[in-house]
Amino acid sequence: MNYKIPLRDIRFVTQELLDSPTHYSKFTKGQAADPDTVEAIFQEAAKFCENELAPLNQSGDEEGCHFEDGVVTTPKGFKEKYDDFVANGWPSLCGPTEFGGQGMPESIGLIMMEMMISTNHSWSMYPGLSSGAIKTIYTHANDNIKGRFMPPMVEGKWTGTMCLTEPHCGSDLGLLKTYAEVDASSEEDGAYVLSGSKIFISSGEHDLADNIVHIVLARLPDAPEGIRGISLFVVPKFEVNQDGSLGERNGVSCGSIEEKMGIHGNSTCVINFDSAKGYLISQPHKGMRAMFTFINESRLGVAMHGQAHTSVSFQKALAYAKDREQFQAAKRVNPDRPADPIIHHADVRRMLLTQKAFAEGGRMLNMFCGQQVDIEQSPDFSAEEHAQAEALLAILTPIAKGFLSETSMEATNYGIQILGGHGFIKEWGMEQEVRDARISQLYEGTTGIQGLDLLGRKILKTKGAAIAPLMEMFDDFIGENRWNKNARRFKKYFKKWKSLTRSTGFKVMRGGMDELNAAAVEYLMVGGYVTLGYFWSRAAIVAEEAIESGKGDAEFYQAKIEMANFYYERIMPRVESMIESIGNGSESLMSMDVERFVFLDD
C-alpha cells in the first residue's frame, strides 16, 4: 500500500481555512509564494517524496545504519537521494537569500517537512536537523561565523545537529559536564576547545554530506552551576578555514550508534569531543536561551512527526478496510457475498475516523503554527503582530508537540488493529509506523516536560497572561460565529478549559509541585482536544459556506462537516474524564510508600 501525499487536504487547510494567499501578501518574503508557485512546489515535493523517498522507507528500516571504526554508513540509496535532494535545490527552499537560499516562508518548509516525514521519517531527519542548526547560527552567530558556515549549510552540502544530552543527564541539562576553554593556540576571537560526550545525537555521523556542524551546549570555566551556566557553541566535524574551505579533521568522533526501536535509517550517535575546536555563538552562560531557537523549531518538527505517522497509518488502514471482507455488516453491502468490507462495521469506523480526526486536525494545527512562525520571523509585521504570534506559539508549541505525539500512538496502533494479524507483520508496514512514531513522545522533552512547560512555566508563572492571546482568539471566533452550531459546541468545551485553568492554578498554589506534576500531562491533553476542536469547528464552517456558495467538490466539504460532528460526539467527551481526574489531585499518586509498589515472594 503506497502512501499518497494528501494534496487536496493540504490545499484546503492552506488556501481555504488559513487563507495563505492573503497571509503571504502581507510580507516581503511571502510575496514570492504566489498561488502558482506554491502549487508547483507542492506538486514537485510530493513527486520527490512519493517516488524517491517512500521506496527507501521499509528497506532503510530493515537495513539500518552501519557503524565501523567510527564511520557510519546510511542504508542503501539514502546518499543518492540526498544528493538528488541537494542538486534540485530543496535544502535552500527557505534559506536566507544572502547565503544562497530561496527565501520562501517557513510555513512552506513545514509542509515540505510533513511530506518527507510521512514518506521516510528516518531520511527526513538529516535535512530536518540541518534546518534548526541553520536558524540557530543565523540568529545568534556573528557575521564571520555566518559567512563561513551558512552558505554550504543552506545549500545542503553540510548538515547540522543539536548536541544536548549527556549520559548522566537526559532532559535535566543543568547537570551537563561538557566544558569549553579558550583555544590558546588560535588567534581567532571566540575560538574555544571543547571536551565531553553527548548521547542520542540524531544524524551525528553519516556519509551524506562533506561536513557535519554540531550545535553544542557546554560550560565555560567560570560558569555558575545549573542551567544558568551553559553556553552555546558551533563545532564542525572538519575545521573550517576563514575562506569557508574545509581544513583538518576536528577532535569530533562517533563512539557508537544506538540500536533503536524505530527510525533505524537515521544514525543516533554517541559523539565525543576531544579538544574539538568550536566557536561561541551565544553570550557566555546564556546558551539555553539561544538554544531555544533550535529547540522550538524541533518541537514543531516533532509535532509534524506525530501528525505525519497518523496520516500514513490512516491512509493505509483505510485502503485495507475498503478491500478486506469479513463478517456481515448490519446493513449488507454485498448481499450476494458471504461477507462485507470491514469499513462497514461500526468499530472499524470508530478507529478510522479517530485516525482521520487527528491526522487532518493535526495538519490544521501545525500549519497554523507555521503561519505564526512566518509572522514572528518577518520584519514586515508590526510589533503588536510579532507579540501576538510569539504568544500563540509559546502556548501552541508544547500543545502541538505533546498532544500530536500522544495521539499518534493511539492512531498508529489503530492502524495495526484494523489490519489484524497482517498489521503485526512487517511486510505490511503498519508496525513500522508505530515504532517510528514512538520517539516523538520523547524527542525535545517528554510529554510530561511539555505539560510542565505549558502549565507551570507559561501559564501559572505568568498568572494566565501567557495564554490570554489564545483565549482571546477563541473568544473572537465564538463571537463572530455565535449562531453557528459548530461554534456553540466549541464554546462549551472552551469554557471547561478556562474553568480548569483557574481551578488547577488554585490547586497548585495550595499543593505545590506535586499538584503541578500530577495535572500537567492531562491538562496539556485537554488543551490539545479543545484546540483541535477549534480547528474542526472552523473547518466545518468553511465547508458549510463552500457548499452554500455552490463552490463544487461538495463531497469533500460534506466530509469535513461530518468529521466535525464525529469529533464533538466521539472524541471531545474525553475532556470530561480528564477534568475529573485532574480535580482529584495528587493524593492517590503520592500517598503510596515506594516499598509498597510491588510485593514479591522471598
Domain with residue 327: its CATH number is 1.20.140.10
Domain shared by 296 and 443, yes or no = yes
pLDDT at 367 over 80: yes
State which of 423, 449, 475 marks the end of a domain: 449
pLDDT at 452 over 70: yes
| Residue 521 lies inside a defined structural domain of this protein | yes
Give the closest residue to 117 by CA, choosing from 263, 14, 296. 263
pLDDT at 192 over 70: yes
Domain shared by 465 and 397, yes or no = no
Domain shared by 461 and 427, yes or no = no
| Residue 131 lies inside a defined structural domain of this protein | no
Give the closest residue to 69 by CA, choosing from 257, 199, 236, 249. 257
Domain shared by 377 and 465, yes or no = no
Lowest mean pLDDT among 153-162, 291-300, 315-324: 291-300
Q: Please report the pLDDT score of residue 573 as a whole number.
A: 97
φ and ψ of 339, to 5 deg: -150, 165
Give the ranges where 143-284 is alpha helix by DSSP (H): 143-155
| Residue 266 lies inside a defined structural domain of this protein | no
Give the closest residue to 121 by CA, choosing from 63, 49, 66, 65. 49
Cα–chain center distance at 154: 21
Q: Please report the pLDDT score of residue 226 as a whole number.
A: 85
Give the closest residue to 157 by CA, choosing from 225, 228, 232, 238. 238
Domain shared by 483 and 570, yes or no = yes
Domain shared by 422 and 475, yes or no = no
Q: How confident is the model at residue 169 (pLDDT cuts 50, 70, 90)?
A: confident
Q: Please report the pLDDT score of residue 601 as a whole number.
A: 81
Domain shared by 298 and 393, yes or no = yes
Tell me: the pLDDT tens digits for 537-592? Answer: 999 999 999 999 999 899 999 999 999 999 999 999 999 999 999 999 999 999 99
Residue 481 CB-density burial (10 A; 0-12 exposed, 13-18 middle, 19+ buried): middle
Query: Mean pLDDT throughout 382-396?
Result: 96
Residue 366 is part of which domain span?
291-449
Three-state DSSP class for residue 181:
strand
Q: How confident is the model at residue 167 (pLDDT cuts 50, 70, 90)?
A: confident
| Residue 179 lies inside a defined structural domain of this protein | no
Domain shared by 365 and 307, yes or no = yes
Cα–chain center distance at 220: 31
pLDDT at 514 over 80: yes
Q: Please report the pLDDT score of residue 316 as a whole number.
A: 97
Q: How confident is the model at residue 133 (pLDDT cuts 50, 70, 90)?
A: very high
Residue 509 CB-density burial (10 A; 0-12 exposed, 13-18 middle, 19+ buried): exposed
- Do residues 10 and 30 make contact, with C-beta atoms less than 8 angstroms apart? no
Q: Please report the pLDDT score of residue 35 as a whole number.
A: 94
Catalytic residues, by residue number, are 444
User: At which residue does the C-alpha cell 520584519 appear?
Assistant: 379
Domain shared by 504 and 566, yes or no = yes
397 Cβ partners below 8 Å, 6+ apart?
296, 299, 300, 303, 369
Per the structure block, which three cell numbers stand in for 392?
A: 500563540
pLDDT at 369 over 90: yes
Residue 582 CB-density burial (10 A; 0-12 exposed, 13-18 middle, 19+ buried): buried
Tell me: the pLDDT tens digits for 55-79? Answer: 999 999 999 999 999 999 999 999 9
Q: How confident is the model at residue 294 (pLDDT cuts 50, 70, 90)?
A: confident
State which of 449, 467, 494 marks the end of a domain: 449
Counts of helices then strands in the chain (DSSP H, E): 19, 11
**In sequence order, what are the beta bridge partners of 231?**
218
| Residue 53 lies inside a defined structural domain of this protein | no
Tell me: the pLDDT tens digits for 472-496? Answer: 999 999 999 999 999 999 999 999 9
φ and ψ of 141, to 5 deg: -80, 160
Domain shared by 519 and 443, yes or no = no
State which of 401, 426, 449 marks the end of a domain: 449
Q: How confident is the model at residue 170 (pLDDT cuts 50, 70, 90)?
A: low
Three-state DSSP class for residue 209:
coil
Query: Mean pLDDT throughout 114-142?
Result: 96
Give the closest residue to 441 by CA, choosing from 450, 433, 430, 432. 450
| Residue 482 lies inside a defined structural domain of this protein | yes
Q: How confident is the model at residue 211 (pLDDT cuts 50, 70, 90)?
A: very high
Q: What is the dihedral of CA 287, 288, 293, 297, to 10 degrees?
A: 140
Query: Number of folded domains in the chain?
Result: 2
| Residue 598 lies inside a defined structural domain of this protein | no
Cα–chain center distance at 175: 26
Three-state DSSP class for residue 160:
strand
| Residue 168 lies inside a defined structural domain of this protein | no
**In sequence order, what are the beta bridge partners of 169?**
166
Domain shared by 494 and 543, yes or no = yes
Q: Please report the pLDDT score of residue 328 as a whole number.
A: 80
Please, what is the average pLDDT of the chain?
A: 95
Domain shared by 353 and 476, yes or no = no
317 Cβ partners below 8 Å, 6+ apart?
351, 352, 355, 414, 415, 418, 419, 430
Give the closest residue to 416 by CA, choosing from 321, 329, 281, 336. 321
Tell me: the pLDDT tens digits for 395-415? Answer: 999 999 999 999 999 999 999
Q: How many CB atoms lie within 10 A of CB 341?
A: 18
CA pair distance 386, 156, nearest whole angstrom: 30
pLDDT at 205 over 70: yes
Q: What's the pTM value of the predicted model, to 2 decimals?
A: 0.96
Q: Please report the pLDDT score of residue 289 as a whole number.
A: 87
